[in-house]
Each structure stands twice: as C-alpha cells, then as structure tokens.
C-alpha cells in the first residue's frame, strides 16, 4: 500500500491545488497536542489571498480547555487579517474521514457562509485514504451567521 493512500483518491488526483492543501494538513497534524485522546487532527485553511493557515488540536490537562484544529486555523487566519476562505482540508487517522464538530462548523460559518453565495468546500481526509468533499452548508444547514442579524458586524470589511 502507498505511504500516502489519500493522494490516490479521485478527488485529490483531479485537483492538485487541493492535494497540496491536504498535504499541508497531513504535515501539520504531527504538531497536534493530543496526549489525552491520542486523536491528532491537522487542518489547512486556504485564504482568499492564497495564503494557507494551519491548525492542530491542542488539548489540556483541564479537558474543557481543548481547542480543535479547525478553530486554531481560523483564529490564526483572522489574527493575520484574513476573513474569506476558499477551502479547508481536515486530516485525521480515523477509520472514516471525520467531520468537524459542531462548534467548528459554527466558527467556519461565521466567515465562510457570511455572504450570499459563499459556501466553503470542506475536504475531509483520513490517512487511510478516505477522502470526502462537501460544502459547509451541508455540514451546517440553516446556519446562524452574521446574515441572521439585520445589521452587519461593524468590523467586517
Ligand atoms: Zn471542533
């Protein structure tokens, strides 16, 4: 078996840019701090600028403090001034490609479903080769977003 079976998936074979994003998520996953669950997650978030923001899950001895890879990537991007995104790749070693938790779906929706017509493609990858791609709106239908308010967030530009 290939050392990178996920690269053999039809989705990634057809999209080298996405495969490169997944490769970054695979690489950064090694930095995950998951001594309690042993469940390492890597995320790579592609900004509209073309810049990539990486994230890993970071657990804590006080379990409730843990934060997911998807949110660390979003927080890093926003801290660096990027608020619009073209894609996210999320990598685990689960038997099936694992989907983001509810909090991460909501965090992504804040930026990735905020405007009419926006819908972030989410690529879920298992190191065993399982690859799925679906829009964020499928993961979080009827999302509560800034559009749910009658006013726009004052800091959005
Ligand atoms: Zn999460």
Report the predicted TM-score, pTM, of the whole model to 2 decimal places.
Answer: 0.93
Q: How far is the CA of 67 from the centre of ligand 1 (A)?
A: 7
70 carries an active-site annotation: yes
Number of separate domains in the chain? 1
**Residue 115 domain-assigned (yes or no):** yes
Among 8, 17, 59, 70, the one annotated catalytic: 70
Segment 47-73, tens digit of pLDDT: 999 999 999 999 999 999 999 999 999
For residue 12, give its domain range. Answer: 5-139
**Residue 145 domain-assigned (yes or no):** no
**Residue 147 domain-assigned (yes or no):** no
Residues measured by CB to lie within 5 Å of ligand 1, the ion: 68, 101, 104
Segment 110-131, tens digit of pLDDT: 999 888 788 999 999 999 999 9
**Residue 122 domain-assigned (yes or no):** yes
Q: How far is the CA of 68 from the centre of ligand 1 (A)?
A: 4
**Residue 152 domain-assigned (yes or no):** no
**CATH number of the domain to which 131 belongs:** 3.40.140.10
**Residue 153 domain-assigned (yes or no):** no
List the Cα angle 9/14/17 in 5-degree steps: 100
Alpha-carbon torsion, ordered 12, 34, 85, 96, to 10 deg: 40
């Amino acid at each position: 078996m290939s050392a990178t079976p996920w690269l053999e998936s039809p989705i990634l074979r057809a999209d080298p840019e996405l495969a490169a994003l997944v490769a970054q998520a695979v690489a950064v996953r090694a930095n995950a701090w998951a001594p309690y669950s042993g469940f390492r997650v890597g995320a790579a978030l592609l900004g509209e600028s073309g810049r990539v923001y990486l994230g890993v899950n970071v657990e804590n001895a006080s379990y409730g403090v843990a934060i997911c890879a998807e949110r660390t990537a979003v927080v890093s991007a926003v801290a660096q001034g990027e608020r619009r995104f073209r894609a996210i790749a999320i990598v685990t070693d689960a038997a099936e490609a694992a989907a983001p938790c509810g909090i991460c779906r909501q965090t992504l929706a804040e930026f990735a479903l905020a405007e009419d017509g926006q819908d972030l493609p989410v690529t879920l990858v298992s190191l065993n080769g399982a690859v799925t791609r679906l829009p964020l709106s499928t993961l979080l239908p009827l999302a509560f977003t800034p559009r749910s308010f009658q006013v726009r967030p004052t800091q959005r530009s």
